[in-house]
DNA sequence: TTATTTTTGTGATAAACATCACACTAAATC
DNA sequence: GATTTAGTGTGATGTTTATCACAAAAATAA
């Protein structure tokens, strides 16, 4: 089964014909490590599904410090949702941390597909709800947990991440300096 | 025009008949200051729309410290979305900060209404998308801004809030101690 | 390979923020 | 209106975390 279909069918069931229609709206794209798919200022009109690889979406502040909003790995979706939904210039950038294979759908095609296939409207609605819950829990974690606790939770939830991405990026995700993160590990 | 209709029509337009159907799925409820609508451990099956008043949704940690996830005022929606969507026991509580008038819809009725009226499915989908963007920006603010900067941004965005809720609750929302918040103000 | 860049750990110091303690004021309750 | 409770400001002190500096190891590129 196509990995995208396997992913979608975790939430809704599709017929062969329906999945063919869904897939026809996506385009494949390959990117190498250090290449970007979104740059600050872009009007983002694509949402990416990660077939293989690893990416980061991040914000660079006035002092040049990087703050990571999201990592994306296999079976995750990534884009700047603010720009994608509101059609405003992106405040963030998205880069590949590894060579990556992506499937993307444009905003226009997503609108067409959801209009044509109600199941996919429900799929993205569910994704959006779950995404919101995950963000809420991250806020809670930033409010109530110390850097050490946030580190432990992340390590337990996504151990693969620590194998794949440099520690300084983990630090930028947790909201601590890389030096502090290094000291937390011991 | 009914204030709920005015609110919904910021995103989608309804006929008189359609709004009557929508409204028929809601029930009014009145709560006094300090009363709760959600308590930790509840299975939350209602989503509340605030006609009048002010509420907080918050998490209490092991040391008894309160962390505020959301304030709700007129025209805002409030519930524990994690419990409401996933049907799991709530980790948070929601209390009234002022006497409040609410309209609520049950999970079951929301499902019925969205199945019957596609416009309302789109309404809630949009709400969910915008909610997610707002949470993302709050995460960004927690990562990149100092307590003072978070304070300034909140004061600029929601000046009314500082009139209506005690400073210690603002502190619990910003993720600083009330003493630090007090010192930031000068 | 060799050279260069990136990643990582660790000490010394400084800044931000939390905690504890207390006084005072405002507001809710009887 | 008196009494209790909740909210607020401020000093003293301690903890957590950031920043700067440097060295070594690992990964990447020439």
Nucleic strand D under 7 Å from the C-beta of A30: no
Cβ distance of A81 and B142 shorter than 8 Å: no
Cβ distance of A143 and B142 shorter than 8 Å: yes
Structure tokens at B72: 């709700």
pLDDT confidence bin for A186, thresholds 50/70/90: confident
Report how far apart, in Å, the C-alpha atoms of A142 and of each of A31, A186, B71, B102 are: 32, 21, 17, 30
How far does B87 lie from chain A, in Å, by closest CA? 12
Cβ distance of A69 and B132 shorter than 8 Å: no
Query: Which residue of B144, B174, B176 to mutate against A (max A Cβ within 10 Å)?
Result: B144
pLDDT confidence bin for A166, thresholds 50/70/90: very high
**What pLDDT, on the 0 to 100 scale, is given for residue A185?**
86
When CB atoms are compared, the residue of A68, A81, A142 closest to B142 is A142
**Mean pLDDT over residues B127-141, rounded?**
97
Nucleic strand C under 7 Å from the C-beta of B148: yes
When CB atoms are compared, the residue of B67, B81, B142 closest to A133 is B81
Question: Is the pLDDT confidence value at B186 over 80?
Answer: no
Q: Cβ distance A29 to A104 under 8 Å? A: yes
Which are the contacts of B170, defined by CB distance < 8 A and separation ≥ 6? Answer: B151, B154, B161, B162, B181
Q: Which residues of B touch A61 (CB under 8 A)?
A: 144
With distances taken from each CA to the C1' atom of nucleotide D7, the closest residue turns out to be B166
Helices (H), A25-117: 81-86, 107-116
Q: How does pLDDT run across A74-89, given as a tens digit for each residue?
A: 999 999 999 999 999 9
**Mean pLDDT over residues B109-127, rounded?**
98
**Mean pLDDT over residues A169-174, rounded?**
98
Q: How does pLDDT run across A3-14, given as a tens digit for each residue?
A: 999 999 999 999
**What pLDDT, on the 0 to 100 scale, is given for residue A34?**
95
Q: How does pLDDT run across A56-76, given as a tens digit for each residue?
A: 999 999 999 999 999 999 999
**What pLDDT, on the 0 to 100 scale, is given for residue A136?**
97
Question: Is the pLDDT confidence value at A111 over 90?
Answer: yes
Question: Is the pLDDT confidence value at A169 over 90?
Answer: yes
The rounded distance, in Å, linking the Cα atoms of B128 and B111 is 15
Q: Å from B27 (CA) to C15 (C1')?
A: 52
The phi and psi torsions of B119 (rounded to 5 degrees) equal -55, -40
**What pLDDT, on the 0 to 100 scale, is given for residue A174?**
98
Please indicate, yes or no, whether the overall pTM of this predicted structure exceeds 0.75: yes
Nucleic strand D under 7 Å from the C-beta of A175: yes
> Checking DSSP bridges between strand B93-96 and strand B55-60, what pairing results, if any?
antiparallel
Q: Quick count: other Cβ atoms within 10 Å of Cβ B41?
A: 10
Round the CA-based radius of gyration of chain A to a whole number and report it: 17
With distances taken from each CA to the C1' atom of nucleotide D15, the closest residue turns out to be A146
Structure tokens at B109: 């009725």
Nucleotides of D under 7 A from a protein CB: 6-12, 16-21, 28-29
Question: Is the pLDDT confidence value at A98 over 80?
Answer: yes
How far does A173 lie from chain B, in Å, by closest CA? 8
Q: Cβ distance B56 to B68 under 8 Å? A: yes
pLDDT confidence bin for A104, thresholds 50/70/90: very high
CA nearest B129 in A: which residue? A128
Q: How does pLDDT run across A47-58, given as a tens digit for each residue?
A: 999 999 999 999
Q: How does pLDDT run across B78-88, given as a tens digit for each residue?
A: 999 999 999 99
Q: Is B6 on the interface with A (CB under 8 A)?
A: no
Q: Which residues of B touch A86 (CB under 8 A)?
A: 133
Q: Å from A47 (CA) to C3 (C1')?
A: 40
Angle between helix A147-157 and A118-144 (nearest 10): 150
The rounded distance, in Å, linking the Cα atoms of B24 and A30 is 51
Choose among A69, A83, A105: nearest CA to A38.
A83
The rounded distance, in Å, linking the Cα atoms of A50 and A97 is 12
**What pLDDT, on the 0 to 100 scale, is given for residue B34?**
94
């Amino acid at each position: 089964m196509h990995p995208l279909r396997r992913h979608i069918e975790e939430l809704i069931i599709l017929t062969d014909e329906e999945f063919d229609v869904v897939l026809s709206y996506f385009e494949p794209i390959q990117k190498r490590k250090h290449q970007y798919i979104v740059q600050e200022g872009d009007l983002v009109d694509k949402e990416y599904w990660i077939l293989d690889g690893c990416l980061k979406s991040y914000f660079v502040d006035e002092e040049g410090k990087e703050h990571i909003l999201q990592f994306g790995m296999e079976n995750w979706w990534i884009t700047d949702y603010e720009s994608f939904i509101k059609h405003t210039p992106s405040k963030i950038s998205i880069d590949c941390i590894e060579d990556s294979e992506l499937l993307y759908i444009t905003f226009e095609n997503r609108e067409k597909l959801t209009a044509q296939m109600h199941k996919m409207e429900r799929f993205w609605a569910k994704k959006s709800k779950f995404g919101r819950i995950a963000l809420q829990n991250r806020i809670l974690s930033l409010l109530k947990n110390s850097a050490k606790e946030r580190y432990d939770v992340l390590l337990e939830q996504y151990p693969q991440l620590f194998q794949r991405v440099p520690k300084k990026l983990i630090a930028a995700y947790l909201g601590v300096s890389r030096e502090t993160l290094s000291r937390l590990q011991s």
